[in-house]
Structure 1
Amino acid sequence: MRAPTGSIVGLCSASATMFAMGMAFLGYWGVHEPVPWRRLDIVIVTLAFAGFASLGSVTWIATTPVAADGDEKVIPARRAFALGVFTIWLSVLVAVVA
């Protein structure tokens, strides 16, 4: 199997960076505080976890072995990255607005 090159490496590192930014948001936002959770808090955490799942799957999707050269899974990995970024930023937006 070839080593990942080009956009696959960039996509994987961008996914890891957004994952870390999302974790920093949850830590700063106060997910660990002892205050009882409201329904809105559960919505925010659920959106963030959905984004983490999507961002975490980017590397797996992008580096999946393929049968023939040129059949790389870059497009599905980009879609998973976009979905993860969208849901993380949506959780941030909901937390800031609410």
Structure 2
Amino acid sequence: MRAPAGSVVGLCSASATLCAMGMAFLGYWGVHEPVPWRGLDVAVIVLAFVGFGLLASVPWIVTTPVSEESGERIGAARRAFAGGVVVIWFAAVLAIIG
């Protein structure tokens, strides 16, 4: 198995960075406040966790060993990364608007 290079390293580091930024957003937004949660709050949390799941799966997807015939899995990792980014941003916008 060869060492990861190029876009593999970029995808892994970008997904880790966005996970950290998303966690910082949730901490700043006020998940820990003692007021009762509204439906909008639950929607933001669920969307954020879905985005975290997608972003956290990127390193696993892109570094999973594959046979030489099937090629690399960079395309699937890029789609997971893009989906995670979109969902996290949608959760942030929903939290700001709501």
TM-score range, shorter chain: over 0.9
Amino acid at match of 2:2: R
Unmatched 5+ stretches in structure 1:
none
Unmatched 5+ stretches in structure 2:
none
**1:40-83: CA deviation from partner (whole Å, max 9, x where unpaired):** 00000000000000000000000010110771100000000000
Q: Percent identity, aligned pairs only?
A: 63
Whether 2:56 is the aligned partner of 1:45: answer no
Whether 2:11 is the aligned partner of 1:11: answer yes
- TM-score, normalization by structure 1: 0.97
Alignment match, 2:79: 79
- TM-score, normalization by structure 2: 0.97
Runs of 4+ in 1 over 6 A off after TM superposition: none
- Matches of 1:71 and 1:59 in 2, distance apart? 16
Name the Cα RMSD after superposition: 1.0
Alignment match, 2:94: 94
